[in-house]
């Protein structure tokens, strides 16, 4: 086929270039095409049979190709790459290199064509998804700020609660150490997390919690500071990062700080002062950028007076004190919490339970010694165990029933919020009407309201709107 190459050489070359994914062609040292592979045809749309034997210049003159890199290589023998837009609409990276014979005489130019069209598409898509990610991020931030973390999961409307919230948002902007006090179950953990997620640190690090009461002093120490390989006699022990490192850039929450071992307190004080740690058994100092939040239900001041807690550490921790009062001192928060947990557990257990007026009143007048945690547990238990859709006084835990003396007649119940009571009553009446009527229209007639009103109210109260039969299981 081509005088300068033996048939054998040509068939080896043909097999070789045929196996390549990129487009490829070979032209001789004068610019005459010798061969091209199938990928070349696919990418350029040029019929290789028509091309072979022709000169590159002919291809350009007939607009088969816009430019021929192999001709440029012939000029100075330099390998080069060019971006070429082919008539097929594809953008190709063409690389051409001289092939030499053993005796140093130029033999041919090999050109490869890499299709960048696909790559461009992918990078275009990548750009698009980056734009989308940015948009979602903004949206999430917005939701977090408006409803998310504030209204949806951190519940309360009392003056006390709102003051705490305002304070939390304010201090979130600083790195100052915070001490949260308050009885068990009031939401100290929740508040600590809230502050972290309100702060810039939510983007630069994690919220890490350690329960200082849960571990004996030596374990607590290694958990906090980490250790190097071989720090303990146990030969298997690999090194481990401590909590301070894991919280780096973020927030370290020292829960139950009142239980922090006395003998370990000077070491904690040092970290707070120097902002650096050393692994147990390690020599290197590791700088730490951590926001500290501590919490306790103990009276630390008194412990300091009794020399059970180090005074210097106390003052280091107590930079911004925040107190969460017990629920009975902010009764306005009880109702929103009941509603919140009822909704949550109805969702979790796929139920539509609601409270009778009596039950609601009893819950609202209870003192909740276990605070929010007790509210949460009580509601969950009642949602799970009440036999009927309506949770009555019989479903209440004994201590709450006792506290409220539920045997008193309704007329002597303490005053509660009117709207809640009316809603509950309305729901109960509608449910009964639905139960005793074969059709929605019949129920509406009994209640003497429009069918559309009934449908709307059904939706509001999560009632099915179908006739409910005693045998129906839901």
Ligand X SMILES: Nc1ncnc2c1ncn2[C@@H]1O[C@H](COP(=O)(O)OP(=O)(O)O)[C@@H](O)[C@H]1O
Q: Which residues bind ligand X (CB under 6 A)?
A: 153-156, 182, 184-190, 372-373, 376
Q: How far is the CB of 192 from Mg ion (least distance, A)?
A: 8
Which residue's CB atom is positioned nearest to ligand X? 187
Q: How far is the CB of 182 from ligand X (least distance, A)?
A: 6
Nearer to ligand X by Cβ, of 376 and 457: the residue is 376
Q: Among Mg ion, ligand X, none, what binds residue 258 when CB lies within 5 to 8 Å by partner kind?
A: none
Residue 189, Ramachandran bin (φ over 0: left; ψ between -120 and 50: alpha; else beta): alpha
Q: How far is CA 103 from CA 9, 98, 99, in A?
A: 16, 14, 12
Residue 288, CB-side half-sphere exposure with 13 Å CA sphere: 29
Interacting span for Mg ion (CB under 5 A) from 13-21, 182-190, 286-294, 443-451: 182-190
* Closest distance to ligand X from the beta carbon of 378 (Å): 11
Contact string 133-172 vs Mg ion (x = CB under 5 A): ----------------------------------------
Q: Which does 136 bind (CB under 5 to 8 A by kind): Mg ion, ligand X, none?
A: none
Please, what is the minimum distance in Å from the beta carbon of residue 139 to ligand X?
24
Q: How far apart are CA 34 and CA 28, in angstroms?
A: 7
Q: Report the residue number whose CB is nearest to Mg ion.
A: 189
User: For residues 42 and 220, what is the distance between their CA atoms, to the nearest angstrom?
Assistant: 66
> Which CB, 185 or 242, lies closer to ligand X?
185
Q: Which CB sits closer to Mg ion, 52 or 213?
A: 213
Q: Give the shortest CB-345-to-ligand X separation in angstroms.
A: 12
Residues 6+ apart with CB under 8 A from 348: none
Binder of Mg ion out of 41, 144, 189, 367 (CB under 5 A): 189
Least distance CB 220 / ligand X (angstroms): 18
DSSP strands (E only) in 288-408: 291-296, 320-323, 354-355, 390-391
State the DSSP code for 235.
T
Residue 110 · residue 96 · CB < 8 Å: yes
Number of residues that bind Mg ion (CB under 5 A): 2
Q: Are 297 and 258 in contact (CB under 8 A)?
A: yes
Q: Which of ligand X, Mg ion, none lies near 185, with the C-beta cut-off 5 to 8 A by kind?
A: ligand X
Of 244, 175, 240, the C-alpha closest to 206 is: 244
Instruction: Pick between residue 65 and residue 338 the one whose CB is nearest to ligand X.
Output: 338
Give CA–CA dist 337/380, Å, rounded: 12
The smaller minimum CB distance to ligand X, of residues 144 and 442, is found at: 144
Q: What is the 3-state secondary structure (H, E, C) of 252-299?
A: EEEECHHHCCHHHHHHHHHHHHHCEEECECCCCEEECCCEEEEEECCC
Binding interface with Mg ion (CB under 5 A): 188-189
């Amino acid at each position: 086929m081509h005088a300068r190459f033996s048939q054998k050489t040509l068939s080896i070359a043909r097999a070789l270039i045929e196996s390549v994914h990129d487009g490829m062609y070979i032209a001789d040292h004068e610019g005459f095409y010798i061969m091209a592979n199938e990928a070349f045809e696919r990418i350029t749309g040029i019929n290789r049979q028509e091309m072979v034997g022709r000169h590159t210049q002919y291809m350009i003159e007939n607009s088969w190709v816009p430019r021929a890199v192999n001709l440029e290589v012939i000029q100075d023998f330099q390998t080069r790459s060019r971006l070429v837009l082919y008539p097929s609409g594809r953008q190709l990276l063409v690389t051409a290199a001289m092939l030499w014979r053993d005796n140093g005489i130029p033999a041919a130019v090999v050109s490869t064509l890499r299709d960048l069209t696909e790559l461009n598409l992918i990078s275009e898509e990548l750009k698009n998804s980056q734009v989308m990610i940015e948009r979602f991020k903004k949206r999430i931030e917005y939701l977090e700020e408006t409803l998310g973390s504030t209204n949806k999961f951190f519940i309360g409307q009392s003056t006390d609660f709102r003051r705490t919230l305002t304070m939390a948002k304010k201090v979130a902007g600083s790195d100052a150490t915070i001490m949260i006090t308050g009885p068990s179950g009031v939401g100290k953990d929740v508040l600590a997390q809230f502050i972290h997620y309100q702060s810039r640190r939510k983007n630069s690090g994690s919220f890490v919690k350690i329960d200082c009461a849960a571990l004996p002093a030596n374990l607590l120490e290694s958990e906090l500071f980490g250790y190097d390989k071989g720090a303990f006699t146990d030969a298997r022990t690999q090194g481990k990062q401590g909590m301070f490192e894991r919280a780096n850039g973020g927030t370290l929450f020292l829960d139950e700080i009142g239980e922090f071992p006395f003998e370990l307190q000077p070491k904690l004080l040092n970290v707070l002062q120097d902002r650096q740690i050393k692994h147990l058994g390690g020599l290197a100092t590791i700088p730490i950028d951590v926001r500290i939040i501590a919490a306790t239900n103990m009276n630390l001041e008194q412990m300091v007076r009794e020399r059970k807690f180090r005074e210097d550490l106390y003052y280091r921790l107590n930079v911004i004190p925040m107190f969460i009062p017990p629920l009975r001192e902010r009764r306005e928060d009880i109702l929103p919490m009941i509603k919140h947990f009822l909704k949550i557990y109805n969702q979790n257990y796929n139920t539509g339970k609601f409270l009778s007026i009596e039950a609601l009143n009893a819950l609202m007048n209870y003192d909740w010694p276990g605070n929010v945690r007790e509210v949460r547990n009580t509601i969950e238990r009642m949602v799970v165990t009440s036999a009927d859709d309506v949770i009555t006084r019989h479903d209440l835990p004994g201590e709450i029933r006792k506290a409220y003396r539920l045997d008193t007649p309704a007329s002597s119940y303490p005053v509660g919020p009117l709207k809640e009571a009316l809603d509950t009553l309305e729901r109960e009446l509608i449910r009964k009407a639905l139960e005793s009527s074969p059709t929605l229209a019949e129920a509406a007639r009994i209640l003497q309201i429009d069918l559309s009103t009934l449908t709307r109210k059904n939706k509001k109260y999560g009632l099915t709107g179908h006739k409910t039969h005693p045998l129906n299981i839901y």
